[in-house]
Amino acid sequence: MALWLLLPVNRAVAGEPPMAGIDVLRQRLATRLPDTTRLRLLDRMCYLLRSEQPARALPYGEAAVSLARTLPADEQDAPLLHSLLCLATCYANLSNGPEALALISEAQTLARRLHDVDALARAYTSQGSIYHERGDSTTAWRHYRRALQLVSQAGVTPRTRMRLLGNVGSLFFYRRQLPQALHFDSLALALARRASDSTAESTYLSSLATYQMQAGNLPRVKRLLTQALAISRRQHSLRNQAEQLVLFAMYYIQTSEPERAEGAAREALRLARRSNYLERVQDAYSILSAEAAERGDYRKAYEWNQHYVELNDSLNNRATMQTLAAAQVSSEAQERARRLRLLTAQHDEQVWRSRLLAAAVAILAIGLAVAIYLYRNLRRSRSALAANNRALEKVSAELRRVAVSKDKLYAIVAHDLRGPVTAFAGVTSLIDSYIAQNDQVGLARLPALVRQAADSLNHLLDNVLNWAVSQTGELECRPAPLLVSDLFAECQALYQTTAAASWQHITMAAPPGLRLLADRNMTRTILRNLVGNALKFMPSGGHVHLEAGPDPDDPGMVLLSCTDTGPGMSAATVASLTSGPAPGDEVEPTTRTTGLGLGLALSRAFVHRHGGTLVIQSRPGAGTNVTVSLPMAK
């Protein structure tokens, strides 16, 4: 018998809101405060209550949005953007999708105006969550995909990336695409650990356990749940413990351990009741009822089932009441807005009557009309000038991005063409050597070597040209499964002629069937840079060895290493190379294109695009080892 939990779309566990902090905020809001301080406190109240008590959070969110709209025009956009997103979350948690989507749409307009990439990514993520909750996975994926296109840009916070990746994993799980779900949840877990966010780490460990349980990988399920439960107990998070114990109960059912399953379910029931986590109470009732029926204790099974039915009715009623409360709050807000418009109209009418009385003095009336006319013209001129300035800034930024991308592409083309051209130079060296030695066998091999070098150059030119044509701006990373042995063989064939010219040797070792999940062109560029640099600085008779294998410290990564018997480098040289342009920074052509600087900078940037690392180990006279980690294809 298998029981499965329906994972929520937004798996960031909020936990119990700190009631002491809420009371302090409520007391401060009852005092006289500046508008900016009051707005910040209203947003904070809405944020704290949005997950557990969205109906209570709604009035604070509405008040924050109304207050933000009254701020001066030049100070309004950023606070209003934050308030709109927080209020949209409340409506989404109350299942009021239309109102939430309307608020998010307004927030997106402000985010684009402010060039706030993080807020725009959060908005797309929230839209995807709402459509996922409705069961419209196609529309949800369309919004998630837009958010995924933004998360690699500077300015997007790790929390936004983490929430998006977790939601995408949940969507793939909903679609029964377990490999993809495991991949995205693993990325979210890595971000949570990198940010030291224990609550999120516990949540994603639970999610991965659910996916592994669906896949039938039960030993992995127990390890993941044990880690998640340990974190929740350290944090004294009763709600998380209840949820993870329910998962443990389902695990024990799968492993045919009914006594442990019942014990876990009873402990989950106790903690869920203490934390008023009614959804997990309902799950515990369901498991206990099923276990009692499995033992043949049908009276107890009936009692547990009655508790389940009663709680289910209560939850349905609560959801209905929350929806009605939200509708009431929305209606009250609309009524307040209507009254405000009425009072404003009455005020305008009184002002107009006062102006009519003052118009008795003809000269004053004419002067007032001229002043109003000039003021309006001035405002129009200022608005037009501001709009022109914004358009000019946008075009200038776009031109700068295009120029940087173009320079980057030119640098890559120039750098990668050096390998095959060097191969042709190696052939000419071989010709001189064979003639000097009167080596007829070597001379007979020259046509094959020339064809090999020409084929390699032609193949590289095709790759570079196809890559350049496919790009419209920033170089895109398109991961796909790649066989490591094929990549090694291709790189070996490319540099075989150059190596033979200097009596150098290239060997490789890769486990059969080992695959990467990486961009083909970027991975080729990384390997070409590593092997090309090794051959360039290695004396005649040297040896370059390529080796690949799974990362023992991270099962989801593959280690690619390039080891040479060259002269090696000092610690200062290694430090200068590793302290160059940071991974992910813009790489621009410099005067160092004849050395290691650009090649390693490109390699580090491409490795970082895949979430990996590049490590250099070298000593003078002891050769050099460069190790790269890239994601493994599942």
CA-wise closest residue to 578 among 614, 542, 602: 614
Q: Tokens 């020339």, residue? A: 450
Query: Quick one: CA dihedral 334, 335, 339, 342, positive or negative?
Result: positive
Buried b (16+ CB within 10 A) or exposed e, 390-403: eeeeeeeeeeeeee
Residue 332 has pLDDT above 70, yes or no: no
Write down the CATH superfamily of domain 400-631. Histidine kinase-like ATPase, C-terminal domain (3.30.565.10)
Q: Is the pLDDT of residue 629 over 90?
A: yes
Q: Is the model more confident about 333 or about 477?
A: 477
Q: Decide if pLDDT at 321 tops 60.
A: no
Q: For the chain, what are the domain ranges? A: 19-190+261-322, 400-631
Residue 591 has pLDDT above 50, yes or no: no
- Measured between alpha carbons, how far is residue 133 from residues 6, 8, 92, 148, 524 in Å? 11, 8, 9, 19, 41
Mean pLDDT along residues 278-299: 86
Q: Are 269 and 285 in contact (CB under 8 A)?
A: yes
Q: Give the pLDDT of residue 460.
A: 58
Query: Which pLDDT belongs to residue 616?
Result: 92
Specify the pLDDT at position 352.
Answer: 81
590 pLDDT above the threshold of 60: no
Say which residues have a Cβ less than 8 Å from residue 548's Cβ, sequence separation at least 6.
Answer: 484, 488, 509, 510, 511, 514, 558, 559, 560, 561
pLDDT tens digits, one per residue of 117-128? 999 999 999 999
Residue 21 binned pLDDT confidence (cut-offs 50, 70, 90): confident
Which of the two residues, 595 and 166, has the higher pLDDT score?
A: 166
389 vs 337, higher pLDDT: 389
Q: Residues 406-428: what's their mean pLDDT? A: 68
Q: What is the pTM of this model?
A: 0.47
Residues 52-101: tens digit of each pLDDT: 778 888 889 999 999 899 888 888 888 998 999 989 988 888 878 889 99
Average pLDDT over residues 221-227: 89
* pLDDT > 60? residue 426: yes
Select the more confidently predicted residue: 417 or 620. Answer: 620
* Residue 229 clears pLDDT 70, i.e. is over it: yes
- Give me the percent of the chain exceeding a pLDDT of 70: 82
Look over the chain and give the mean of its residue pLDDT values, rounded to a whole number. 81
Pairwise pLDDT comparison (90 vs 411), residue with the higher score: 90
Percent of the chain with pLDDT over 90: 16
pLDDT in tens, 439-453: 777 777 677 667 666
Angle at 49 between CA 45 and CA 53, to 5 degrees: 145
Confidence of residue 465 (pLDDT cuts 50, 70, 90): low
| pLDDT over 50 (residue 344) | yes
With respect to CATH, is domain 19-190+261-322 assigned 1.25.40.10? Answer: yes
Amino acid (one-letter) located at 94 = L
What's the angle, vertex CA 12, arms to CA 7 and CA 17, rounded to 5? 115
Q: How far is CA 404 from CA 80, 89, 220, in A?
A: 34, 38, 46
Nearest CA to 253 out of 290, 279, 285 is that of 290
Is the model more confident about 543 or about 499? 543
